[in-house]
Amino acid sequence: MPEKSPTNRVPGKISPYTQAMARCLSERAEFPPETQLVHNLTNLVQGRMLEYLADQICESHRIVDPQSRGRIVRALLGIFSEEFFALFRAKLEKRPDLALLIARRIIRGEFEAAGGRLANGARRPLDSLFPAIFRKYFEYRNLDSLLHIVETDAEIQKTLLLALLKQRVEPDNNGLYEQVAGILEDDSEGLCPNLFLAYVRENRIDALQQRIESGAWRDDREHLKQRIAEICGG
C-alpha cells in the first residue's frame, strides 16, 4: 500500500461541517427554506470553506498534525470578519435557496470523494469543487493570493512555525522547540514567527538554534521593528 502523504491523501474522512450540513437538510423541510435552516447552513458553509483553506495551508507546508490543523482553522475564524463574507451573505439575502444548493453541492462532492480512489497524479475532486465555490459565490478568484495574505497573519505563522519545528527537530533536541515556544509566548508584537519561520521552512534548524542561543535573534527583531516603522512612516 502506498504511503499516504499530505499532498496525496486517499479521501475517506468527511468534514464535521459537511456532516452537520447533511443532518440539517435531513431534519428540516427544504422548500420553502426556513430562516433557521438558511442561517445554520450559511454558517456551516462558511466554516467548511475556511477549513478548506486550512487544509491547503497544511498541505503546502506538509503539516500532518491534526491539532495544528485545528489551530489554523480557529485562527482563520478569528481573521475573517463579516467583511470577508459580505458578498456571499448579500447573495443569500436575495436567494436564500443558494444556501441549500451550495450545501448539497459540498455534501455530494465530499461523499463521492470519500468513496473513491485517486489514480497517481490525478487531481482530487475537492480541489476543483471548493475553488469553484469561492469564485462563484464568494467572489474570490485567486486562492493563491488569498492564501499568501492569510499566511502573513502572526497567529497563522506561529502555528506553522511550531508545527514544522516539531516535525523537523530531532527528538534529542526538544530544548530548541521549548525555547522557541517560550519566545513566542512572550512575543506580544507578533514579530518572531516571521523571523523564525524562514529558517524552519528552509530546514536551517542549526542556524536557528545558533541565533537563539547567541541571543542574536533579539537584534533581528529590532531590525525588523525598524523596517516596519520606516515603511509605516514612524
Same domain, yes or no: 177 and 105: no
The contacts of residue 41 (CB under 8 Å, 6+ apart) are 21, 24, 25, 99, 100, 102, 103
Number of domains in the chain: 2
User: CA torsion 153→216→61→105, rounded to 10°?
Assistant: -10
Domain end residue (candidates: 110, 128, 150)? 150
What is the model's pTM?
0.80
Domain that holds residue 166: 154-232
Same domain, yes or no: 103 and 120: yes
Q: Left (φ > 0), alpha (ψ -120 to 50) or beta: where does 139 sit? A: left
Which stretches in the chain have pLDDT values below 50? Answer: 1-11, 118-123
Same domain, yes or no: 185 and 199: yes
Q: Considering the domain boundaries, does residue 5 fall inside one? A: no
Q: Considering the domain boundaries, does residue 73 fall inside one? A: yes
The DSSP 8-state label assigned to residue 2 in this structure reads: P
Same domain, yes or no: 33 and 100: yes
- Looking at residue 10, its pLDDT comes to 35
Same domain, yes or no: 67 and 126: yes
Residue with cell 490543523: 69
Q: Considering the domain boundaries, does residue 11 fall inside one? A: no
Same domain, yes or no: 159 and 141: no
Same domain, yes or no: 219 and 115: no
Same domain, yes or no: 33 and 122: yes
27-75: pLDDT as tens digits: 876 666 788 899 999 999 999 999 999 999 999 998 988 888 888 988 8
- Looking at residue 227, its pLDDT comes to 87
C-alpha 95/C-alpha 229 separation (Å) is 46
**φ, ψ for residue 151, nearest 5 deg:** -75, 0
- Looking at residue 9, its pLDDT comes to 38
Euclidean distance between the first and the last CA atom of the chain, given in angstroms as a whole number: 58
- Looking at residue 54, its pLDDT comes to 92
- Looking at residue 75, its pLDDT comes to 87
Same domain, yes or no: 111 and 200: no
Which amino acid appears at position 127 of this protein?
A: D
Q: Considering the domain boundaries, does residue 2 fall inside one? A: no
Same domain, yes or no: 130 and 29: yes
